[in-house]
Structure 1
Amino acid sequence: MENSSPIEQEVEHLFRHEWGKLVAVLTKLFGPQNLQLAEDVVQDTLLKAFNNWKINGLPQNPSAWLFTVARNKAVDVLRQQKRKEEFSKSIAALLQSEYTLVPTIQDIINTNSIEDDQLRMMFVCCHPSLSTEAQVALILKTLCGFSVAEITKAFVTGYDTIEKRLYRAKQSFRENNVQFELPSAAELNSRLDNVLMAVYLLFNEGYNSTQHNNLIRTDLMQEAIRLCELICRSSIVSHSGAHALMALIYFTASRNESRLDADGNILLLQQQDRSKWNITLIQNGIHHLEASAAGETISKYHLEAGIAYEHAKAENYKATNWENILQCYNLLCKLYPSPVVELNRAIVISELYGPADGIKAIEAITQLSSLKKYYLLPATLGELYLQLQQFDKARHYFLEAIALTHAASEKKLLQQKIMQCCS
């Protein structure tokens, strides 16, 4: 929204910050089986905000305004519903009488229990009746305000696929009569992996936006930090993986101020001014990395945080300990294999042994065809062939990468790489 009005910018900002909070409290009221109804009420609330504020200007407390409107809309919805027993079981009886209806809704839709409601919502979204992919997509949609297009990019898959996952997830909530409650302690930890994955994808979209004019979405990054800190503070789940993810997020976010030049061009790691890296965020990362060592297992976030730490502690690009980073990637490939991890490992191999060995490592990737829509595959091949001075091949891959990315800043970088092939 580069050319949007202040009201439009404010609504977009609030959409990201308040969407998940409102959906969580309304789902507590309506029940997960009526998740679509909760989302519809939030959508109507934001639409009313846009229309009202466009005429009257921003209220003194926009967040409180949204909660008041959402509360009033919820009252109207419940008054119109004849079968109130179909809503949350724990409060169904209180919704039957006009005397208790409004006080009950006012008590539920308030800002005092937002963190508890959002934490509960995260684990509700990870109900075992849903596939892993559906669980993560649902968190991104309901708690993080992701569009279907943004989720599509995060999963490197098709738009229709994500729409179907979300539809089936909501249908499963209805069929299984899922309630807005936390599962047993043992089941909580089994669901935690997918909760962390959703926060991880949220942060990634903020760090390297796929659907926005701005490469860096600080609003999404801040929301990911907030949700991850919420998990780290919780007394009901294992914290080791959450601390590792928090460390990874802080180490990565510390580079934000150095990632673009004055003209908005992307600066790759070797070009960045490390004096602009945020020392406070790096120290926060170290704190969480140390806290993550208390667990008995090594998650993928431990290994990725270890990689990010090696970059954070290096005084300059040449001082990077690529051997340690390769060891982390070797463990990732062994414990948590994926074509994207193998691609990143191939880049490290090229740093250690040269571009030709990097290309060989890419060609050896398991299920390489699954990356055919992932722009970083041809972009990486283009860079390696450029280093080998095989300019025709490099140009071919850069053009292929341009066709696969929607980000203007990435297209601009790739165009600059193509110019290098012609010089």
Structure 2
Amino acid sequence: MRRAVDAVWRIESARIVATLAAWTQDIGAAEELAQDALVAALEQWPASGIPANPGAWLQTVAKRRAIDNLRRRRNLERKLDELGRETPAHTEPELPDGDLTDDVLRLVFTACHPVLSTDARVALTLRLVGGLTTAEIARAFLVAEPTMAQRITRAKKTLTRKQVPFEVPQGADLAPRLASVLEVVYLIFNEGYSATAGEDWIRTDLCAEALRLGRMIAELAPTEPEVHGLIALLELQASRTRARTGPTGEPILLLDQDRTRWDRLLIRRGLTALDRALALTDTPGPYVLQAAIAACHARAATPDTTDWPRIAALYAALARINPSPVVELNRAVAVSMAEGPAAALDLVDQLTGEPALARYHLLPAVRGDLLTRLGRHDEAHHEFLRAADLTGNARERTLMQDRARQAQQHNQ
């Protein structure tokens, strides 16, 4: 029964919290009311059975609790009125029947408000929009549960203290706020796709949650090209999941993957979303460009048939609108495939002094790969060892150590 209740909650919680928040204008109070309804379900459903419409049941209970709270406040205010003051006529409080789509969209924008730190935005979105428990979020990001609980509590208090309005921004305010929303979904997916720490290289639950959130936002904001660009990117990246690990969970890099294991349904969905994004804009943004890069891989049956010059050109376009040393590193990888490792090594060497990449394990990993292809195995050995020292993920560390040993063996 607990599993069934959890499944219902995961599906319905965002709508319930959003409806209550639209009325109370208080995210924290709305979640508490929704949690009260969840507790009621856990108490009553084992005996009465799951109702035919569990979402409506939870919504009704939450509304009743909200009305009871308002009635108590009104009674208290009435008792505090000056003696002899005329008591206003009693009216039964009601929750407005708003547009659920609008309410959920407001919830998404509020949870991802830039007034919060990036970590807080991610945690609050997973909590309020994703319906994950604090324990699940803490587990996913390898943080102690009390620490995550404090982070979520502080985030809700910050929204209240800063008087962040429960609304979808309009006009010139929309683009930067939408970028914040998409960034949160992107970060959640990336942590699942290539975990920064822990024993597992992939956390499929986080990838699935990011996909669900992305699809939800695409339905809520159907005319925004970057929204469709992001969901295209996530669908295409997720299509490779089965091929990215071996029988014991060891990482398998892109060029070594069995592409027959790529999920063709997800690829079709991703390409459809990319077409939709391109139809909405003449100037592709960062997510649309990244999705176009992923599409080049998805359309290629083998690494050799991949359109590497186009990928390099797309990374160059991405660097122009979103300058980043990480983008330049990825461009160098594409250049290595299109023009050879020597040309790419020149680009990578220009990045070695970048402060942002000082602790980034993929810089020495890429450099080690290029040096291996150039036959400079001793240098490659040291680069792979450095990459192993820098990564926080156990699976990736083992992969880098294996590549270091292979490079060393070539010198013996």
TM range (shorter): 0.7 to 0.9
Deviations 1:176-195 (A, max 9, x none): 42232333355334422222
Superposed CA deviations along residues 196-241 of structure 1, whole A, max 9, x for unmatched, are 222222222222233554433333223322222223223x663211
Contact persistence 2:112–2:180 (CA under 8 A): yes
Deviation (angstroms), 1:308? 0.8
2:276 equivalent to 1:276: no
Q: Alignment partner for residue 239 of structure 1, among 224, 229, 232?
A: 224
Aligned to 2:234: 249
- 2:360 matches 1:374: yes
Contact 1:137 1:198 in 2 (8 A): no
Greater gyration radius = 2
Partners of 1:16 and 1:219 within 8 A in 2: no
| From 224, 227, 230, the counterpart of 2:210 | 224
In structure 2, the CA distance between the partners of 1:41 and 1:208, relative to structure 1 (3 Å rule), is: farther
CA separation of 1:41/1:228 partners in 2, compared to 1, >3 Å: closer, same or farther? same
C-alpha deviations, 1:113-172, integer Å up to 9, x for none?
Answer: 76543321122245465688876675456534584796799xxxxxxxx99997886555
Provide the C-alpha distance between the structure 2 equivalents of 1:74 and 1:379, rounded to a whole number of angstroms: 57
For 1:286, which of 271, 275, 281 is the aligned residue?
A: 271
Select the residue among 296, 299, 311 that pairs with 2:282.
Answer: 296
1:82-119 Cα offsets, whole Å, 9 max, x none, are 8789xxxxxxxxxx999957x74xx88xxx97654332
1:159 match = none
Q: Give yes or no for contact 2:20–2:63 (8 Å, CA) kept in 1.
A: no
Q: 1:375 to 1:150 in 2, by over 3 A?
A: farther
Task: Name the structure 1 match of 2:304.
Answer: 318
Q: Distance in 2 between matches of 1:362 and 1:149?
A: 35
Partner residue in 2 for 1:306: 292
Q: Give deviations 1:274-309, integer Å, cap 9, x for gaps.
A: 122222222222211211122233101121111111
Q: Provide the residue aligned with 2:80 in structure 1.
A: none
| Equivalent-residue separation in structure 2 for 1:215 and 1:13 (angstroms) | 26
Distance 2:150 2:389 in 1: 26
Q: Is the 8 A contact 1:137 1:151 kept in 2?
A: no
Q: Which of the numbers 5, 12, 25 marks the counterpart of 1:31?
A: 25
Distance 1:218 1:13 in 2: 17
SS at match of 1:349: helix
Describe the shift of the 1:422–1:296 C-alpha distance in structure 2 as closer, same or farther (beyond 3 A): closer
Q: Supply the distance in 1 between the matched residues of 2:66 and 2:6 (Cα, whole angstroms).
A: 26
- Residue of 380, 386, 396 corresponding to 1:400: 386
Return the TM-score normalized by structure 1. Answer: 0.72
Is the aligned partner of 1:409 residue 2:395? yes
**What is the total number of aligned residue pairs between the two structures?**
389
Once the two structures are TM-superposed, the CA of residue 331 in structure 1 deviates from its matched residue by 0.7
Per the normalisation by structure 2, the TM-score is 0.73
What's 2:348 paired with? 362
Does the CA-based 8 Å contact 2:8-2:55 persist in structure 1?
no
What amino acid sits opposite 2:230 in the alignment?
A: L
Q: 2:181 aligns with which of 180, 191, 195?
A: 195
Structure 1 residues 60 and 185, CA gap change in structure 2 (3 angstroms): same
CA gap 1:392/1:290 in 2 versus in 1, 3 angstroms: same
Shift of 1:371: 2.0
- Report the Cα distance in structure 1 between the residues aligned to 2:24 and 2:199, rounded to whole angstroms: 36
The equivalences for 1:32-111 within 5 A come to 32=26, 35-36=27-28, 64=54, 68=58, 75=65, 79=69, 104=95
**8 A contact 1:310–1:320 mirrored in 2:** yes
Is contact 1:16–1:220 with CA below 8 Å preserved after alignment? no
**Match for residue 78 of structure 2?**
none
Q: Matches of residues 151-230 of structure 1 in structure 2 within 5 Å?
A: 170=156, 172-184=158-170, 186-211=172-197, 213-230=199-216
Identity level (%): 35
Q: Which amino acid aligns with 1:227?
A: L
Q: Is the 8 A contact 2:195 2:202 kept in 1?
A: yes
What is the rounded CA distance, in whole Å, between the counterparts of 2:28 and 2:359 in structure 1? Answer: 31
Name the stretch that deviates more: 37-46 or 22-31: 37-46
In 2: Cα distance, 1:65 partner to 1:149 partner:
27
Equivalent in the alignment of 1:343: 329
